[in-house]
Amino acid sequence: MEEKISVILVNYNGKAYNDKCIVSILRSTIGSRIEIVVVDNASTDDSLAALYANWGENLQVHILPLDDNYGFSRANNEGIRWSIGQGIEYFLLLNNDTEVEPDAIGKMLRYHQETKGIIVPKVLYADKKDTVWCAGGSFSPIIRKAAQRGLNETDQGQYDTNGECEFANGCAMLLSKEIIEENGFLDERFFLYYEDTEYSMRASKNGIGIWYRADAVVYHKVNGSTKGNEKPANAYYISRNWLLCNSLHLREGCRGRGRFSLFFVYYLCNRFAWLGIWFLQGKRDMCKATVRGIRDFFHKKWGRMGQAP
């Protein structure tokens, strides 16, 4: 009997995206082996009701409603734990604002079985299918800033070679029970943003490879799941979690402390530049959120913005 794979979708007010994403998954060439797990983060629209109405009787779609919005990491972890409880050992974490090519999941799964690593696909813009959003990723050598390879480039076959990379974008990444046992679950302190960066850094330390499968194609409706980056909450999470991520991985040993110091100088320049831009644009709420994120890092306040530690 062929092994099953869970495709884990985190939903928060994603009514506009869920159905098309689920339909594309069920059309996969290995569709009979797929269990879809939709973890609802206490949505405040009627997306949860729509999920039950449209998919509640489909035996391949499992809806896990949470009692509060616990963020991206915990929701995915809940989906993974549920899947492990069902005896499933492969998990594709997938944004619900995506659609997948029919052969993408099967190719990613087979590539994992060859490499035993974390697998990421080629991600193209859903509204510009000839344009790359992410073709694997890497880290800069000193401050370890994550970068999506090929971002906004026209797809002309320049990223059509499979191979190892350094960064797995959380939009779509395939894990296994064995990887979870070696690398742990996603860090729930992050709530939103940088959890994939931290997980990739942790994987490198634990000797787990990240592999890019070029002919596994996913289309991403960019920022559909977070409603764009021009929100104070997103400025807060980026400001706080960037510090948290690099404080976890750049401070080891004497060289590490020096590397973190260099990163911190870069970080302050970056944040002050954005503070200046937002101040001139009259976006005082973005400025306040950024300062609050920095403050909460030093006060070790994690999880959702404004939530008591």
**Residues 170 and 93 sit within 8 Å (Cβ to Cβ):** yes
Angle ∠(98,240,256) on CA atoms, nearest 5? 105
pLDDT-based confidence at 189, cuts 50/70/90?
A: very high
Give every CB contact of residue 21 below 8 A, 6+ residues apart in sequence: 9, 94, 96, 97, 98, 99
pLDDT score recorded for residue 229: 59
Distance, in Å, from the CA atom of 124 to the CA atom of 153, rounded to the nearest integer, reads: 10
pLDDT score recorded for residue 83: 98
pLDDT score recorded for residue 226: 46
CA distances from 260 to 121, 245, 295 (A): 31, 11, 18
Kindly report the pTM of this predicted structure.
Answer: 0.94
Per the structure block, which two tokens stand in for 129? Answer: 């299918």
Q: Torsions phi, psi of 48, nearest 5?
A: -65, -45
**Per-residue pLDDT tens for 218-274?**
999 986 544 455 799 999 999 999 999 999 999 875 555 678 999 999 999 999 999
Angle between helices 253-280 and 284-298 (to 10 degrees): 160
Better-scored residue on pLDDT, 113 or 309: 113
Mean pLDDT of 83-96: 98
Mean pLDDT of 200-213: 97
pLDDT score recorded for residue 291: 97
pLDDT score recorded for residue 259: 85
Distance, in Å, from the CA atom of 38 to the CA atom of 82, rounded to the nearest integer, reads: 11
Kindly tell me if the per-residue pLDDT of 14 is higher than 90. yes
Distance, in Å, from the CA atom of 224 to the CA atom of 215, rounded to the nearest integer, reads: 24
Mean pLDDT of 153-166: 98
Listed range (132-136, 207-211, 225-229) with the worst mean pLDDT? 225-229
pLDDT score recorded for residue 253: 59
Closest alpha carbon to 175 in 130, 255, 113: 113
